[in-house]
Structure 1
Amino acid sequence: MTQNERERSWLFDFRSSETFVVVTVSIAIFTDAFIYGMIVPIIPVALVKRVGARQEDAQSLVSILLAVYGATLLIGSPLFGYVADQSRLRRLPFVIGLIALAASTALFAFATSFPVFVLARGLQGLSGAAVWVVGLAIVSDSVPPERAGAAMGYTTIGLTWGFVLGPMMGGYIYEYMGWYGAFVVPTALIVLDVVLRFLMIELPRKSRQAKHESHLHPSHSGNGVSSYDTFNGEGIQSPGHASLCQDHDSEGAPLLLSSRCADGGQKKATILSLLVSPRMPVAMLATFIMATMFVALETTLPLYTMETFNWGSSGAGLVFLAVSLPTFGGVYIGKAIDRMGVRSMGTIGFGMGCLAWVLMRFITSNTPGTIASLVILLLLLGSSIAAIEITAMTEVSQVIGDYEIENPGAFGDKSPIAQGYALFNMSFAGGQLIGPLVAGAIRVHSGWSTMTLVLGVMCAVAAIPFVFFSGPPQKRKQAEVNSSV
């Protein structure tokens, strides 16, 4: 091999590696979340100074902009999911999302009318849909199932720190650098995002799966067939499938297999097929609860700490670092999921959330001990949110993978992983929309103690279907896989 061939091979291997793909998607998620958040503290000022809105109308106009973001996120998620699943490579919709983010940022920078702000916020919602749906699908394609949890852990770091650093840095930069100066950092992040997205090489799903299989089952690399071939989305059937179809009328044949064999094994499933069994709806419920918890905290905690501890806006913002710190352990949470299974880790996550919310209702006095207790409880709540989020993301991937193993060729050559993450994204958006309304209304009418108690009970109730219907513990699942090989 010549020097040029070795260099080309090294660059290709590096740019298509699991590490580079996961880092690229994580930075894309961070960029999108950061730009979303940095706009929040400066939009009310911009509406008054640049648009000419009255001060008393600013709150209602901000609410409209938030609703526009949620609406385009809900609309864009299934759209990008379908397009990504129909494409041989997912890179095109991923780049389209980047274009939407760049256009949104430019419109924000130069907007002088409210309709332009609405258009900018709408494009930002489309960008968020593309980044989450397509980005997580690319990660799922690039990482074998036994490392999916750890990979999803990295993406949560980008999301959480984008949401936390965005508002903090947005207000600070605007105060010292002005309106146009506030967009210097977002522009730099977009440039970095452009470079990484175009450097990333996405292997076709069949090639990527063949690479995984050659590592897991070297003895099968010659014929390209193994008991896991259904994960490649190419409709490859397991070696025993043909004989099972021939004997599908026998007493021992699986009932679901019989229904597939009745039409020659060509019956096509859709993403809606996954909603019939409880696992996907339970994953969606976990995502909704996780988003509701995070946004409810974001909505009520700053004002409550200002009132209770007499803090300013900087102190109220810094306390969110306690919620964000546990995301640095997201990779370890993901590895724990890979070892223990989603059911165990998800149950632990809901348990921590219930405990943190219930105890937080006793944070009512301005003493050093109370402040220290709040920080500890926020660390616990941040751990809960990270555990539930990573568990839900991993479960979506495993639900689709397990369905394809149990129903060979059910989706033909179009595995619906991106549409699965579209459902995840829509559940997250639902929590973003409902969380502030519910938490804010309860706190206004019934107080902080009632609000935290309700959220704690919500976590406890959500844990019940997760315990009974989510993926089996990893040891039992591994035993099932081994017995089928």
Structure 2
Amino acid sequence: MAQAQWRSSNLFILVSMAMALLTDELLYAFMVPLLPYMFEHRLGLDNSIVQRCTLLFLSEGALICVFSSPIIGHVSDMTSSKRNLLLASLALAFVSSLATAMAESLFVLFASRFFQSLASNALWIVGIATLAENIGSEHMGKISGMISTVAAVGTSGGPVLGGMLFELGGYWTAWMGAFAFILVDIVLRLLMVEKKRTKGEGKMLDPEQEALLASEIPTPSDLLSEPVLSAAAAVESEPVVEQSGWRFYAYAFRHPGFFAGVTSFFVFSILISSFNTTMTLHVQRVFHWDTFRVGLLFAALQGPGMLLSPVFGWLKDRVGSRWPTTAGFLSVVPFFWLLGVPGDDRFPWANEGTRGQTIYSFCMIMIGSLLCLLNGVGNMEVTTAISELEAERPGIFGPNGGYSRALAMSSMSWTMGLLIGPVLSGFLAEVGYYEMNCVMALLCVLAAVNAAINLSSRRRT
């Protein structure tokens, strides 16, 4: 029993899932520096279409995430053990990554990318659902903070790792590094033991607690000695109708926190993706910065999250996500407005000497720091809403709960923001970079109102 206890401990489950999510981010990001080589040298494509193929390759993953999320969430909630789904996802990730590495035609490359994206989405949804079920939705703030840090490390370290291994040993050496991460994940998943779900309340028990409960099962004589329920009490305990299919989402969206969490996550995603689309071109045109300085700006945007996300996650577990999220949206409004000022002829005071560069860099650091308050708001709120709804009506989402379907909706909102954000910001930037940032600031104000009204506010002890 003691041997299995550490395998079902919160710490080991947290480490295992963190490793899975880190591997998933690394697997996506490390391919970026390899794609030009794959398209030009392995597939023999002309250099003039490499950029277009790279865009299609990366966009394919986002589209698959949007359409596959509800299906993955449904399958996950119909399965009592998430461990087998995680193992299947890792196996699919390994096989599809191997096919991607070996691809010598566009058809094989995009087909393998399809299955790779499917496995990646499953790892995220099932992995976070595993954390919520085993560690508890009341800790989703800290969990989301950890996830944000892991994602930032994977996103930032992936291209560095891929490029370094490619330079040191070539194409296949780079891929061996990715395969090694997947194999380590598979081993951790085989070692991990899920806690058992108790009936009714949906709580999870480790193997030792399960054994203690089993020893307390009443005997037939105990049952005979129990008083019989009155007819009135029997009438009151009406059977709960399970909400499945589209009824699950209709029922969940009636909860204000669920709706506000999904929409807040969607706006947050739009804000992040707008930088990827417009920032590089703007600073190169206005400040004539090189690639290194642009990279430093992205580090200023992403770096604070690696340090501040766990702290803000702990804060949200203590006071709820209403006021941190509201403060996050409102506090970035002046900095979004000020971000559009340098380079605009209507504000000559901001374009004297290097003042514009200083203002822009300062705003980027502040936005990167304050946006950490929004990390994980979708995952935190949807799991909290599901826990509250199941507490009111136990079994309403089936014997295995509804965390996976809820997290699938959160994942969809984030991915849709990543798809819509570049289109929206690119269109607005054609009108004017200042105008684009004013629209982003307005979105933040509207999202802050939504958060203040609908998100949860609670204090943990």
* Shorter-chain TM-score range: 0.7 to 0.9
In the alignment, is the contact (CA less than 8 A) between 1:396 and 1:424 conserved in 2?
A: yes
Give the Å deviation of 1:355: 3.2
Which of the residues 437, 445, 458 maps onto 1:474?
458
Partner of 1:452 in structure 2?
Answer: 437
Q: 1:202 aligns to what SS in structure 2?
A: coil
Question: Structure 2 regions of 5+ residues with no counterpart?
Answer: 218-228, 344-350
Count of aligned residue pairs for this structure pair: 433
Structure 1, 455-464 or 34-43: larger mean CA deviation: 34-43
Shift of 1:427: 1.0
Instruction: Give CA-to-partner distance per residue, 1:329-382, whole Å, 9 cap, x none.
Output: 222111110111111111112123323322211243596554444443333322
**1:302 equivalenced with 2:280 (yes/no):** yes
Gap change, CA 1:377 and 1:242, over 3 Å in 2: farther
Q: Tell me, yes or no, if the aligned pair for 1:306 and 1:312 is still in contact at 8 Å.
A: yes
Q: How far apart are 1:157 and its partner, in Å?
A: 0.9
RMSD: 3.0
The structure-2 alpha-carbon separation of the partners of 1:83 and 1:13, relative to structure 1 and needing over 3 Å to count, comes to same
* Structure 1 residues 367 and 166, CA gap change in structure 2 (3 angstroms): farther
Partner of residue 265 from structure 1, selected from 239, 245, 250: 239
TM-score (norm 2): 0.85
- Partner Cα separation in structure 2 for residue 242 and residue 44 of structure 1: 74
Looking at structure 2, the residues matched to 39 and 150 of structure 1 have their Cα atoms a distance apart, in angstroms, of 29
Task: Specify the SS of the correspondent of 1:319.
Answer: helix
Aligned match for 1:131, one of 123, 135, 150: 123
- Look up the match of 1:329: 308
Q: What is the identity, as a one-letter code, of the residue corresponding to 1:269?
A: Q
Which amino acid in the other structure matches residue 300 of structure 1? T
Between stretches 18-27 and 376-385, larger displacement belongs to 376-385
CA distance in 2, matches of 1:170, 1:323: 22
Match of 2:428 among 438, 442, 451: 442
Matching residue's letter, 2:133: D
**Paired letter, 1:103:** V
Q: Please report how far the alpha carbon of residue 168 of structure 1 lies from its aligned counterpart in structure 2 after TM superposition.
A: 4.1
Match status 1:97 vs 2:89:
yes
Q: Are 1:110 and 2:89 an aligned pair?
A: no
Alpha-carbon distance between aligned partners in 2 of 1:351 and 1:456, rounded to the nearest angstrom: 9
Instruction: Verify: 1:209 aligned to 2:203, yes or no.
Output: yes
Query: Is 1:13 matched with 2:5?
Result: yes
Query: How far did residue 423 of structure 1 move?
Result: 0.5
Give 5+ residue unaligned stretches, structure 1.
1-7, 225-240, 249-260, 479-485
Q: What's the secondary structure of 1:183's corresponding residue?
A: helix
* Identity between Structure 1 and Structure 2 (%): 24
- Displacement of 1:429 in angstroms is 1.3
Counterpart of 2:458, as a letter, is Q
What residue in structure 2 maps to residue 144 of structure 1?
A: 136
CA contact (8 A) 1:26 1:157 kept: no
Distance 1:186 1:460 in 2: 41
User: 1:176, CA displacement in angstroms?
Assistant: 5.2
User: Matches of 1:187 and 1:366 in 2, distance apart?
Assistant: 51
Relative to structure 1, the CA distance from residue 34 to residue 355 in structure 2 (aligned partners, 3 Å threshold; closer, same or farther) is: farther
Q: Which has the higher contact order (CA 8 A, sep 6+)?
A: 2
TM-score by length of 1: 0.81
Question: Following TM superposition, by how much is the alpha carbon of 1:295 offset from its aligned partner in structure 2, in angstroms?
Answer: 1.9
Residues 373 and 120 (structure 1), Cα distance of their counterparts in 2 relative to 1, 3 Å cut: farther
Tell me the equivalent position of 2:225: none
Shift of 1:193: 1.8
Matched residues in 2 for 1:167 and 1:299: separation? 19
User: How far has the Cα of 1:137 moved from its partner?
Assistant: 0.3
Counterpart amino acid of 1:305?
A: V
Structure 2: distance between partners of 1:40 and 1:359: 32
2:387 aligned to which of 387, 398, 401: 401
| Structure-2 residue corresponding to 1:338 | 317
Q: Which amino acid aligns with 1:452?
A: N
1:448 partner amino acid: Y
